[in-house]
Amino acid sequence: MLRISVIICSRDRSKDLVKLLRTLLSQTYPPFEIIVVDDSSSSKAKDVVDSFQQRFDDSELRYVKGCGDGLPAARNLGVKVSSGDAILFLDDDTLLQKDVLNAFATFLSTHPTAVGVQGQIYNAGAKSLSAIRRKISNAVRKVFLLFYYEQNKLAVRRSGTSIFPYSYPLTSTINAQRLDGCCMCYRAELLEELSFDTNLKRWAFLEDLDFSYRVYKKNLGTMHAIPSAIIAHKKSAKSRLPSRERTYMTTLYWFYVFFKDVIESSILNLIAFLWALTGNLVTTAGGVIAKKKRTRVRELAYLIGSYFYAFRHLRRIKRRNLDFFNKQLEG
């Protein structure tokens, strides 16, 4: 039997953690162990783990205090203390249908060359647009080399953005160039060779792309998304960064991951990246015009400021030094 270690990295989301642990209790294929790595500023997550200790009859539930250095560091710590054959990383604001672990265990057991797998993920509670507006938005994003949605495709674009299948149901098992950090499962031996990049702090925008795309380039054709494992990602607003810091993080970390993993000395990739930056400005400005809200104006101002900031520190970013920015995220 394949032993699956579940690693949940949590930060000040005790209520979300309770709901996730309940879905793990209901799994038809019980996890070998559950490790909660806590980066919280309080002891509430430990209280939650303690309250569930006697309820997991077939699994070991463990609490580990994180160092507060962000999601990648917490994941690395969880890997260090785990002992399963495969490791399932879960965000604390996800919910699993009862057959998720069974689907992952079955797939990895019957596909010996596969090193990573994720399920069908949908955004719970996401605002729904009309079909026409959704198609227009998707088409614009596709043209500007930003992220967009396409059925049965999970890939990385030249610009460092992604193609996601999440607006559509998966109709078959697909090969993936990247996996989604909210619910991704890897064989344990892979985690002995690769680790998550601790230069990326807090919730660490694009840390999942950085890790999984490195896996993809090292093991072509060995990561997959399967329709039989269904996961809801609530994208909790709890413990998020303020708007300005969030905007700067997404820009700085996008620059960092692009020049680290995606550019590959290709002028075409660099042009695609610059085009996507332009597209991001255009679509944000379009939102300002359409919505006519002060918050949208602030978002555009923050975005422009983050671009100037990133280009001013481009040499440091290319040297993989983010200390100049990460100091602002401490605490």
Phi then psi for 99, rounded to 5 degrees?
-105, 15
What is the identity of the amino acid at 6?
Answer: V
Count of other CB atoms within 10 angstroms of residue 156: 21
199 and 287 co-located in one domain: no
Q: Which of 233, 264, 279 is the last residue of a domain?
A: 233
260 and 228 co-located in one domain: no
Percent of the chain surpassing pLDDT 70? 96
173 and 225 co-located in one domain: yes
225 and 262 co-located in one domain: no
Mean pLDDT in runs of 10 for the chain (331 residues)?
95 94 97 96 91 93 93 97 98 96 98 97 74 90 97 97 93 97 96 96 95 94 96 83 93 98 97 98 83 75 97 98 89 51
How open is the CA angle 125-128-132, to the nearest 5 degrees?
A: 165
Domain that holds residue 301: 243-329
User: What pLDDT shows up at residue 125?
Assistant: 63
Task: State the average pLDDT for the chain.
Answer: 93
Q: Which of 208, 233, 258 is the last residue of a domain?
A: 233
**Residue 95 lies inside a defined structural domain of this protein:** yes
Give 260-300 pLDDT, tens digit per residue: 999 999 999 999 999 999 999 999 998 777 665 666 788 99
208 and 309 co-located in one domain: no
322 and 187 co-located in one domain: no
**Residue 228 lies inside a defined structural domain of this protein:** yes
Q: What letter would DSSP give residue 259?
A: I
**Residue 178 lies inside a defined structural domain of this protein:** yes
User: What pLDDT shows up at residue 128?
Assistant: 66
Q: How many domains does the chain have?
A: 2
The residue count of the chain comes to 331
**Residue 97 lies inside a defined structural domain of this protein:** yes
**Residue 156 lies inside a defined structural domain of this protein:** no
122 is written with which tokens?
A: 């949908």
> Is this structure's pTM higher than 0.85?
yes
Count of other CB atoms within 10 angstroms of residue 7: 25
Q: CA distances (Å), 246 to each of 137, 251, 252, in order?
A: 22, 9, 10
258 and 220 co-located in one domain: no
User: What pLDDT shows up at residue 86?
Assistant: 98
User: What pLDDT shows up at residue 183?
Assistant: 96
177 and 51 co-located in one domain: yes
Secondary structure (3-state) at 311? helix
118 and 256 co-located in one domain: no
282 is written with which tokens?
A: 């255009």
Q: What is the Rg, in whole angstroms, of the alpha carbon atoms belonging to the chain? A: 20
Say which CATH number the domain at 104 has.
Answer: 3.90.550.10
**How far is 207 from 199, CA to CA, in rounded Å?**
9
213 and 269 co-located in one domain: no
**Residue 140 lies inside a defined structural domain of this protein:** no
Kindly write down the DSSP assignment for every residue of 153-173, as one continuous string.
Answer: -BEE-TTS-EEE-TTS---S-
All residues at 6 or more sequence positions from 277 whose CB lies less than 8 Å from its CB, including other chains: 307
**How far is 61 from 7, CA to CA, in rounded Å?**
10
120 and 180 co-located in one domain: yes
**Nearest C-alpha neighbor of 69 from the set 183, 182, 203:** 203
User: What pLDDT shows up at residue 123?
Assistant: 83
Pairing of strands 183-187, 162-164: unpaired
Give 233-259 pLDDT, tens digit per residue: 988 777 678 899 999 999 999 999 999
308 and 203 co-located in one domain: no
**Residue 304 lies inside a defined structural domain of this protein:** yes
What is the identity of the amino acid at 196?
Answer: F
Q: Which of 207, 233, 259 is the last residue of a domain?
A: 233
**Residue 238 lies inside a defined structural domain of this protein:** no
**How far is 96 from 254, CA to CA, in rounded Å?**
29
